[in-house]
Amino acid sequence: MISKHMAPYMEGNKTVRAMFELGKNLAAEIGAENVYDFSLGNPNVNPPEAVKQAIIDILNTEDPHVVHGYMSNAGFDLTRQAIADNLNQRFGGEGAHYAAKNIVMETGAAYALNVVLRTILDDEDEIITFAPYFLEYANYVRNYNGKTVAVPQSPETGFQPNLDAFEKLITPRTKGVIINNPNNPTGVIYTEETMTKLAAILKKKEEEFGTVIYLISDEPYRELVYTDVKVPFAPKFYDDTIVAYSFSKSLSLPGERIGYLAVGDEADGAEELLAALAVTTRVLGTVNAPSLIQLAVARCLNEKVDVDYYKKNAEDLYRIVTEAGFEAVKPQGAFYLWVKAPDGDDNAFVNAGIDCHIIMAGGSGFAGPGYVRLAFCVDHEMILKSEPAFRELAAKYF
């Protein structure tokens, strides 16, 4: 039988599963074209053509022993060098000066975060994150017997982190702080001002406790931005930063499982940390990130999916939802719309949505009760067709 450690994960899985089944059953009952499913953050825009061409070319021209073989645990040198060069090109003005040794290739951001947490956590150590948050963080922290400490959500600051509450929650056991920018589920981009203040608090606490607190910047949505606001480059603000990046969203490759960790030389214990991250990558069991797609992304670092498609979706869904009378946060990035449950009960709101054939994810599943998340990485036509359904939903409340 399964271990007692699995019980809480299985419980959480039931909710996700229930939502998935519900959408499927409803589609079978009334036709998929009559269901407005905003539940899943699965990119619906195609990967750039260049990715396919790169894969074909690599298979046709490169040595199969290299393309499909083992490599060093940190990944192919050529991919790591290409990523370092690309980051230096894009963020050199903000202090980026990476070399291949600063990059560790990982099996997507999910695994990258697991690798970081395994590397830095001892039992009962604490990881702080800001609610609402991608709830897998809590599972990942639990994987290594750590404790997730959530700073309460802060609608009053437009879902920028509540830094006063944050400062009070930092203890000598705090090993890391996870931020996600642009944010899932709120669609908000943390500002330069937020990053400056957050970094100042972390530096102060490191000095006060004589500890190292890593800022783990989870950035799978970095390129999915719909405003002129620039996503701050976290290491510019705080030396002890570990960037966790993924190509799942920027190149629409979630099934390929490819991303990386980046640690600058300025980070406390950088050399030892980077060596440990590579070893952790091996001992947790993936050994190295998948080889073919490592080679392919190295050739596609300046490629992007059709961000304008998501932007159009963001604008139309925000318009439809707010014109129906709901309060929502205007998405600045990622592909989520964060909507307030009119009476504060997100479970009831989700159920009322189902009655109108709208599938939404309850905020409680993101430690953000009182809100729901609508993923707009969906067909644009579905968004336009959903307008009457949102009006019907609004009529239940207003």
**Binding to ligand PLP (CB under 6 A): which residues in 63-122?**
108-110
Question: In Å, what is the CA distance from 237 to each residue of 13, 18, 58?
Answer: 36, 41, 38
User: Are 213 and 206 a contacting pair, CB within 8 Å?
Assistant: yes
d(C-alpha 157, C-alpha 154), whole Å: 6
List all residues 6 or more positions away from 344 whose beta carbon is below 8 Å from its beta carbon.
369, 370
Q: Report the nearest approach of ligand PLP to the CB of residue 210 (Å).
A: 31
**In sequence order, what are the beta bridge partners of 106?**
259
Note whether 178 binds ligand PLP by CB under 6 A.
no
CB of 324 to ligand PLP, least distance (A): 26
Which string of x and - marks every residue 138-177 that binds ligand PLP (by CB under 6 A)? ----------------------------------------
Three-state DSSP class for 373? strand
State how far the Cα of 247 lies from the Cα of 230, in Å rounded to an integer: 19
Q: How far is the CB of 187 from ligand PLP (least distance, A)?
A: 11
Does 184 bind ligand PLP (CB under 6 A)? Our answer is: yes
> Closest separation between CB of residue 61 and ligand PLP, Å?
28
Kindly determine how many residues on this chain lie close enough to bind ligand PLP according to the rule CB under 6 A. 13
Q: How far is the CB of 311 from ligand PLP (least distance, A)?
A: 18
- If binding is defined by CB under 6 A, does position 216 make contact with ligand PLP? no
Site for ligand PLP in 228-287 (CB under 6 A): 246, 248, 254, 259
Nearer Cβ to ligand PLP (26/288)? 288
Distances (CA, A) of 106 to 9, 136, 185, 196, 210: 23, 17, 23, 28, 30
3-state secondary structure 208-271: HHCCCCEEEEECCCCCCECCCCCCCCHHHHCCCEEEEEECCCCCCCHHHCCEEEEECCCCCCHH
Question: What is the contact mask toward ligand PLP in residues 34 to 53, using x (rule: CB under 6 A)?
Answer: -------x------------
Residues forming the site for ligand PLP (CB under 6 A): 41, 108-110, 134, 180, 184, 218, 220, 246, 248, 254, 259
